[in-house]
Structure 1
Amino acid sequence: MAFTPRICFACSMVGCTTLYGPESVRHTITFPAFSYVTTILIVSDATLGDALRGCWHVLCASIQVILPSMLILRLIGPSRFNCGLAAVAVALSSFLIALPGSTHLTAKRIAFGQTVIIYVGAVIQGAKTGIIIHPIHVAASTALGTVASILAMLFPYPHLAYREVRKICRFYAENASNRFNLLVEAFCAKGDMAAHNLITDARLLSKAGAKLIGSIKDKHEGMLWEKPWLRFLKPKRSDPGEKLKEMDMPIQGMEWALTNCTSFPVRMMDEELVNVLQIEKKQIALKLEQAMRSVPFDAATTPDMKGENTDRSLWTQKAISTNHEDLSSFFFLYCMELLQDGPACILKNGEEAKIQESSQPKKQGKSRVKQMQSFRRENLLFAIKCSLSLGLAVLFGLIYNKENGYWSGLTIAISFVTGRQATFMVANARAQGTAMGSVYGILCCFIFKKLTDLRFLLLLPWIIFTSFLRHSRMYGQAGGIAAVIGASLILGRKNYGTPSEFAIARTAEATIGLICFVAVEILFHPSRSATLAKTELSRTLRALQDCFKVISLHTDQKENLRELMREKQKQLRYHVRELQNFIAEAELEPNFWFLPFHCGCYNKLLISICKMTDLLHFTIHLIGFLSAASQMLGVTWEEIQEQIKNVLEHLVDKTGSLSKCLDKVLLVKSLEEIEKQLQMESVSQDLELGKSPNADVCTRLGYEETSISEIGKCFLQYTIRVADKTECNEVEEMLKSQMVLCLSSLGYCLNDLKREATETEKEIAELLKWENPTRHVNFPELLSKLHAT
């Protein structure tokens, strides 16, 4: 909404030029409607960098469309163009435009619009169509919208992306500092109510911080267009969003730790610890402030900390505990250490460099080939989808109303996305936005009949109103843009006939285009988002299971597993993003005759899986650090390795059974058939192995009854052994202190992973009961049978 004045300024420039400009200019700009469309596409939520990028997209689109269209018009002849030939020309041109994967989506949308105008215009004008002049007029109309967009970003002062990023970074620094202070105050709180209030305040700031990081990522590309030399820097040095996300993770970990604290004040709190926390609180606040000064130009720079040094050996005494409830407090202190010093801060003698060097990505030929094949397949499907949609829209639009045949194709030309989208929601929002904008334009024309020369000024308050629509959940970006364009086509032009007749004709044409758009989308994506969400949930659980397996092997600190773990984490985060997209889409799609989508259950599952994904990041670092530190101190940790493997193997079994359960439901689609099939498989295997069918069930349930305190007990006992080791020098003393804290933190991470896995199991059980309301679902027994088979 902050960019609304600039949108008004850009649309005003287009209106003044097309209505009151010199005769030669008005004669060249024969398609002012597309000038408005181009302006709105570029200026919406844009900066100067985005406008420059939009100018490049317009240039690419014009090169793709103008020259080939001149050749086609010359070969076929404008007089020969009819409805069918125009539809074929649009379909083939759209296919060639959409096929290259390197072309940006905005350039493709503008090229689609230009293609529709050129070939439909040839049908409408017939033999009068200029083979060269007609495409040039389309390009000039597009250029007018581009120039207006750039001028709107320059006046009254340049709206620069890097300034916006700097400002948002300052906001984030303040947000992160406030969150950190609230969490430290909650940790030192002397009562449960005071601590819970502080944690609630910090959680609200956490949501605002996530939005700020998202805004920075959105403006990153525009910043690169304003300062092109940033492209030659390393990715993390040029992307401030990634740096801030890394800084945000320890603060998020502090919030998790406090959430799991059972009572306040925490048991270990004393005056000495309070003093240490206050010192580190000041130092971390200074670090956040210094870090924000280097963003966005050198996001990888970590400021050197100078000031009071805290007594890190204090953690050695504090972490000597046999109470599993103290694990949350230890993890809180560990996250503060990460904020203060960063990961692997105390590894000496080149160990840190070795770990970082071994974790660098390596070329993986097979995986890249698979990615390229998948990418090409997606591009081909996208090109076919665009080709069919636009071809059918142009064909039926011209058959219905030849004079207004543009609008069926133009309505959907700017609607395409490369992936899936909530088709019905987008089509409904565009239809409603088109209708609202048209009605507003008709009413303004009726009320101000005698002020036809100035009625385009009434477009400005409508732009302000639609800015709220663009940021609303009901209409979104699609509905808001459609509403602006609907009013612009009536109030910002002349000589298009009676406003009411034009509005009705355009609404009908837009409906034809949207029907073709929805039909083709259903043809290419027949599966419901709810079904895809369930499938993606199973894939995400399998990816999570793979991560647990690799971490279990990673405890041996084998170098060849580091890149594998990095790849598995990347795959897991990809599946989490896909699951999030499918859930958001399923919430918006109509149910029809299907069972309603269980939004609450899926959102809880997503929260648990996202938390486990982030906990894996801490767990991997802790295991790697402890392995290196134990070698430097000469401490054997085979016992703790065995405990880690036991917990991870249990998590592997749990996630594997859950994903197998979802797969069975997806394939068989009947719980009764699943139970019969499992009963037969179980009896067959038990007879062959000569054991009781309930043996695995009892073993599984017995492990489930093991409390979290038992899992963390081994870690706490091991910290006592490390703390009792006689130190030789200051370096080893610091290393021992850090190792004690990391052992306790690793115990917390593994416990929290088990807790979230249990929550995931409960939510999937609820999901099965939701989909099978008439049957009694014995979920633990079902999982045990799946695990056995």
Structure 2
Amino acid sequence: MAAITRADSTTKALWRRRLGSALRTALACSIVGFTTLYSPEHLRHMPAFPAFSYVTTILILSDATLGDTLRGCWHALYATIQIMIPSILCLWLVGPDRFTADVAAVVVTLMSFVVALPESTALMAKRIAFGQIVIVCVGTVVHGAKTGIVMHPIHVASSTALGALASVVAMLLPYPRLAYHEVKKSSKLYAENASEMLNHFVKAFCAQDNTAALDSISEAKSLFKAGAKQLLSIKDKQEGMLWERPQIRFLKPNYKDPREKLQELEIPIRGMELALTSCPSFPVGMIDEDLRDVLQSLKAEIGLKLEQAKCYASFDATTAPETQKNCKDESLWSLKAISSTEDVPASFFFYCIKLLQDGLPVAPNAEFVVNETRETHTEGSSESQNQNKFKCKLKWISSSLFLLPSLESLVFALKCSLSLGLAVILGLMYNKENGYWSGLTIAISFATNRQATFKVANARAQGTAMGSVYGVICSFLLQKSVNFRFLPLLPWIIFSSFLRHSRMYEEAGAISAVIGALLILGRKNYGTPSEFAIARITEASLGLICFIIVEILFQPARAATLAKAQLAQSLQALQDGIKDIVLFADQKGKATPTALRDKQKRLKSHINELDKFIAEAEMEPNFWFLPFHGSCYENILASLSRMADLLLFVAYKTEFLSQLSERFGVSWKQIQEPINDDLELFKEKVGHSLKCFEEVILIKSLAVLAPERQNRNISHDVESGRLPNEDVPRTLSPDEEEIEEILSSFLQHSKEVANSINGYDGEEKHLSQTVLVLNGLGFCISSLMKETTKIEKEIKELIKWENPTRNINLYEISCKLNATYPK
């Protein structure tokens, strides 16, 4: 009942926030409309392009806070300064009377390229600048010799300034919406969400039957999505908060991103979920009344910590306040090494709840790493490091001086410039008077990252059509009351503001819908509304066609193809992480345990890219291609995400064990050798499987393998069932028996290590910590092997989807690959 009440209050708060944002947008557009329609004549003529005033207002104010609005105004000012001087110079050199459509297209292309190239310029500033370029050039073509060399760009600048000023006024009335308060509220909601998840997980862990446990786990899982939304909200408002409180940026060098603080709560909670979903049955065998009491005490103490998190997570505090540990958790320190594999998830649950209580371990500081590097690496490697540092500095200096733009920024600049130039020339050829709209439609559409081209173009086309049709209908109904035509805009602006949150139209379609109606109902003296609507829809379609053509030319690869390639890269990154699992660094150049954190971050970035490609591939049209197997990719993505989380826990544990080995010296390293042997076996099996998965994924077609083997004269010994040079095991991923065997061996050796620590005086707490860490490490490696098996199953299904007439055996495919392309 409490969950339902909280969900209702959250939904109401969301609707209030969106309605408030919609009303502010409507107010800002009303200010622009009344200024351009009903203000004194001398004021009304300065912003000669009210359409662009509306565009600027929509770009700046949509779902914005005060900080976002101030930042948007700064971007508008920066874009105006960047464009005005070159525009005046260009008009002066060419002359308005000689400014033909061809010249306009060339100027738009060149100026857009210069604007788009710098990586330091914000995307909103670039969008506003693109729009100004289109209006200046097309307006000069339309008005010819009558165009003022100086006044024409000033009119464009005045239109931009009106939109920005209207946004600020609307944001301040009746009171400002502060990003600072939004972040504070989201942080509080996230902490409450984390507290509720903790309660559900502890309830599930102490449950007396499977039904009650699964119900609690299901309720907790449903809260993860809400928590992710809160973190995303904090991320979106973070920059706005820094604009509202610049002292945070300049006077607090140790300021920590609120999301980082809150994610420190999320990591252990995710670990608790992994542990509970791996429990074979409930009630948990190793838990007794003492441990149950300890859990409740720990839950109460962590609840206090979460209450404090509501106060510090979103503000200027750089560190969390200390909490007093009144919990009597001696029972946790009496835990012994376990021998049953069924108790491993429960032990990992205890580890995670202690991690939530004590906080995440801090990585060993850089000075220690540098000293260790100096001791273990040769002079040659030191020189290599110095060279790498020098190259990084050189790259930073060159990029800062705008000498060596990156390939991504160069491609983006070429796409923008060619799209706008082509749209402008085609728009002017079709309809000179309305030639603005082909370029303006796509000027505000560009994004620096890859986007679903067809979906964005479709959403903009539909939004433009809906807004234009709504404007024509309202104009027809109010043709006898022209002065009241602006009133129907207000509900449409509110409707479009809600439309931006729909999955079908999103921001692109919503902005096009509101601008489509504003251009008809919010202006005068543009001709018959129906004729203008038809002309604008056609012009917008021309611009979108240019946008699609250029996007396809520069990015011909389908999202489905990129998702497959990114999956292979993710598997490679996962292999690199598995290879770096070590308990301690020796003198042979092994990676240090701290290196695993960097590999885990790299894997996480690959997984995020894979997620984006999967989302885009599910939205792109199939045409004549094979449909995208979205469910299979989603399952693989889920397994990879869990493996990334597990790698992070492995990093925490190996760092702890490495520090413990330094405490006890060489004898401790000798004790650890059996555990290292188990880890090496685990790494060999999982690493080999992942390598085979990567190779199989990269095959374009299984039909290519047979002709290739024939061309290379490779035989297949049917009787032995083996291929020449075959050196792979019969199964790609470990089966249940192998997983059980490796885990049992690891637990046995862990027990021996724990018994060895008993020989040291005064190390009872270290013994208990080591037991928790080693048991948790056993859980992680067994879970990694299980997830590898799941990935094999999904990859097999994916290959079967692409080759429906073939019997798929990944082992045989891997053998053929090794025989055809020997390493």
Query: TM-score, length-normalised on structure 1?
Result: 0.93
Contact map agreement 1:407 1:510 (CA 8 A) in 2: yes
Q: Who is 2:121 aligned against?
A: 103
Contact map agreement 1:552 1:649 (CA 8 A) in 2: no
Contact map agreement 2:76 2:164 (CA 8 A) in 1: yes
Match of 2:221 among 203, 208, 217: 203
Match of 1:266 among 256, 269, 284: 284
State the 1:17 CA deviation. Answer: 1.2
Match of 1:427 among 435, 457, 468: 457
The 1:376–1:512 alpha-carbon spacing in structure 2 relative to 1, beyond 3 Å, is same
Are 1:14 and 2:49 an aligned pair?
no
Letter matched to residue 297 of structure 1: F
State the 1:563 CA deviation. Answer: 6.7
After superposition, the C-alpha distances for 1:721-758 in whole angstroms (9 at most, x for unaligned) are: 34435658996211111110000000011111111111
State the 1:238 CA deviation. Answer: 3.4
State the 1:642 CA deviation. Answer: 1.5
Counterparts of 2:31 and 2:106, CA distance in 1: 36
Contact map agreement 2:118 2:405 (CA 8 A) in 1: no
State the 1:511 CA deviation. Answer: 0.6
Are 1:305 and 2:323 an aligned pair?
yes
Letter matched to residue 504 of structure 1: I
Contact map agreement 1:319 1:719 (CA 8 A) in 2: no
Counterparts of 1:637 and 1:628, CA distance in 2: 13
Contact map agreement 2:732 2:810 (CA 8 A) in 1: no
Q: Who is 1:328 aligned against?
A: 345
Q: Who is 1:405 aligned against?
A: 435
State the 1:192 CA deviation. Answer: 0.4
Letter matched to residue 357 of structure 2: Q
Are 1:656 and 2:713 an aligned pair?
no
Q: Who is 1:456 aligned against?
A: 486
State the 1:680 CA deviation. Answer: 8.3
State the 1:572 CA deviation. Answer: 2.0
Q: Who is 1:245 aligned against?
A: 263
Counterparts of 1:31 and 1:119, CA distance in 2: 13
Contact map agreement 1:682 1:785 (CA 8 A) in 2: no
Q: Who is 1:708 aligned against?
A: 739
Q: Who is 2:247 aligned against?
A: 229
Counterparts of 1:493 and 1:16, CA distance in 2: 10
1:43-54 superposed matches below 5 A: 43-54=61-72
1:169-568 superposed matches below 5 A: 169-232=187-250, 237-298=255-316, 300-312=318-330, 314-315=331-332, 317-344=334-361, 354=368, 364-365=389-390, 376-552=406-582, 556=586, 561=592, 564-568=595-599
The 1:540–1:593 alpha-carbon spacing in structure 2 relative to 1, beyond 3 Å, is same
Letter matched to residue 510 of structure 1: A
Are 1:601 and 2:619 an aligned pair?
no
Question: Alignment RMSD, CA only?
Answer: 2.8
Contact map agreement 1:678 1:786 (CA 8 A) in 2: no
Counterparts of 1:228 and 1:572, CA distance in 2: 34
Identical aligned pairs, as a percentage?
55
State the 1:242 CA deviation. Answer: 2.0
Counterparts of 1:351 and 1:51, CA distance in 2: 39
The 1:698–1:167 alpha-carbon spacing in structure 2 relative to 1, beyond 3 Å, is closer
Counterparts of 1:622 and 1:681, CA distance in 2: 48
1:50-65 superposed matches below 5 A: 50-65=68-83
Counterparts of 2:409 and 2:786, CA distance in 1: 41
The 1:274–1:612 alpha-carbon spacing in structure 2 relative to 1, beyond 3 Å, is same
**SS of aligned partner of 1:131:** coil
Unaligned runs of 5+ in 1: none
Match of 1:93 among 111, 134, 148: 111
Are 1:766 and 2:797 an aligned pair?
yes
Contact map agreement 2:597 2:651 (CA 8 A) in 1: no
The 1:643–1:322 alpha-carbon spacing in structure 2 relative to 1, beyond 3 Å, is same
Contact map agreement 1:315 1:738 (CA 8 A) in 2: no
Q: Who is 1:622 aligned against?
A: 653
Counterparts of 2:644 and 2:780, CA distance in 1: 11
Counterparts of 1:403 and 1:701, CA distance in 2: 66
The 1:657–1:620 alpha-carbon spacing in structure 2 relative to 1, beyond 3 Å, is same
Contact map agreement 2:461 2:541 (CA 8 A) in 1: yes
Counterparts of 1:309 and 1:721, CA distance in 2: 30
State the 1:322 CA deviation. Answer: 1.5
Q: Who is 1:749 aligned against?
A: 780
**SS of aligned partner of 1:166:** helix
The 1:266–1:705 alpha-carbon spacing in structure 2 relative to 1, beyond 3 Å, is closer
Q: Who is 1:161 aligned against?
A: 179
Unaligned runs of 5+ in 2: 1-17, 374-384
After superposition, the C-alpha distances for 1:35-84 in whole angstroms (9 at most, x for unaligned) are: 11001101112111111110110111001111110011011111111111
Contact map agreement 1:240 1:299 (CA 8 A) in 2: no
Letter matched to residue 682 of structure 2: V
Contact map agreement 2:279 2:342 (CA 8 A) in 1: yes
Letter matched to residue 748 of structure 1: F
The 1:695–1:704 alpha-carbon spacing in structure 2 relative to 1, beyond 3 Å, is farther
- Return 706-715 or 525-534, whichever deviates more: 706-715
Q: Who is 2:45 aligned against?
A: 27
The 1:703–1:39 alpha-carbon spacing in structure 2 relative to 1, beyond 3 Å, is closer
After superposition, the C-alpha distances for 1:78-123 in whole angstroms (9 at most, x for unaligned) are: 1111111111111111011111111011100000000000010001
After superposition, the C-alpha distances for 1:429-476 in whole angstroms (9 at most, x for unaligned) are: 100000000000111111122322122121111122112321111111
State the 1:218 CA deviation. Answer: 0.9
Q: Who is 2:8 aligned against?
A: none
Are 1:579 and 2:610 an aligned pair?
yes
The 1:195–1:174 alpha-carbon spacing in structure 2 relative to 1, beyond 3 Å, is same
Counterparts of 2:414 and 2:441, CA distance in 1: 18
Contact map agreement 2:597 2:648 (CA 8 A) in 1: no
After superposition, the C-alpha distances for 1:305-327 in whole angstroms (9 at most, x for unaligned) are: 21413334x33544432111111
**SS of aligned partner of 1:637:** helix
The 1:565–1:189 alpha-carbon spacing in structure 2 relative to 1, beyond 3 Å, is closer
Letter matched to residue 51 of structure 1: T
Counterparts of 2:219 and 2:723, CA distance in 1: 53
Q: Who is 2:5 aligned against?
A: none
Query: TM-score, length-normalised on structure 2?
Result: 0.89
Counterparts of 1:11 and 1:658, CA distance in 2: 55
1:59-78 superposed matches below 5 A: 59-78=77-96
State the 1:552 CA deviation. Answer: 4.6
State the 1:32 CA deviation. Answer: 0.6
The 1:519–1:703 alpha-carbon spacing in structure 2 relative to 1, beyond 3 Å, is closer
Counterparts of 1:186 and 1:277, CA distance in 2: 12
Counterparts of 2:561 and 2:405, CA distance in 1: 23
After superposition, the C-alpha distances for 1:742-782 in whole angstroms (9 at most, x for unaligned) are: 00000011111111111111111111000001111222222
